[in-house]
């Protein structure tokens, strides 16, 4: 049995994520930061400028977008990859005050516990 599904089955999470966060290794160890996610051809990640590491964009990140409160409502997608700062390398936007980064995904895994199914042998 597996809860994994193709990304297309949970891709609506990107249009209205209930929760989104990135995790990365900071200078003092693991960091987890809440973010805003937008998709306009690429996945863009917005975060509070004060949460951006002093060294700039982390080399590798994990983005988690999830939804649901009860076990069979839990759905999520997790991207692993790297980010590049937008707006001339600063990532800061005058429009909304967030620091924006473009995600270059290397791997994605999606799941939906409400769609448990048997995996073919």
Residues 6+ apart with CB under 8 A from 46: 35, 36, 37, 38, 93, 96, 98, 99, 100, 101
Q: What is the pLDDT along the chain (121 residues), one digit of tens a residue?
A: 667 677 777 777 777 767 899 999 988 889 999 999 988 888 899 988 888 877 777 789 999 998 877 767 788 889 999 998 886 555 556 577 888 899 999 999 888 777 666 767 6
Query: Could you count the other beta carbons within 10 Å of the beta carbon of residue 62?
Result: 15
- Output the pLDDT for position 61: 93
Sketch out the chain's domains with CATH numbers.
Answer: 4-110 (2.30.110.10)
> pTM for the whole thing?
0.81
């Amino acid at each position: 049995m597996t809860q994994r599904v193709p990304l297309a089955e949970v891709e609506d999470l990107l249009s209205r994520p209930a929760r989104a966060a990135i995790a990365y290794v900071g200078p003092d160890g693991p960091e987890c930061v809440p973010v805003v996610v937008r998709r306009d051809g690429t996945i863009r990640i917005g975060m509070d400028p004060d949460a951006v590491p002093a060294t700039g964009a982390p080399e590798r990140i994990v983005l988690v977008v999830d939804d649901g409160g009860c076990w069979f409502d839990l759905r999520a997608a997790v991207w692993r990859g790297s980010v590049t700062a937008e707006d001339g390398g600063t990532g800061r936007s005058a429009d909304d005050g967030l620091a924006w980064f473009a995600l270059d995904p290397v791997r994605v895994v999606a799941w939906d516990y409400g769609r448990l199914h048997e995996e073919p042998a």
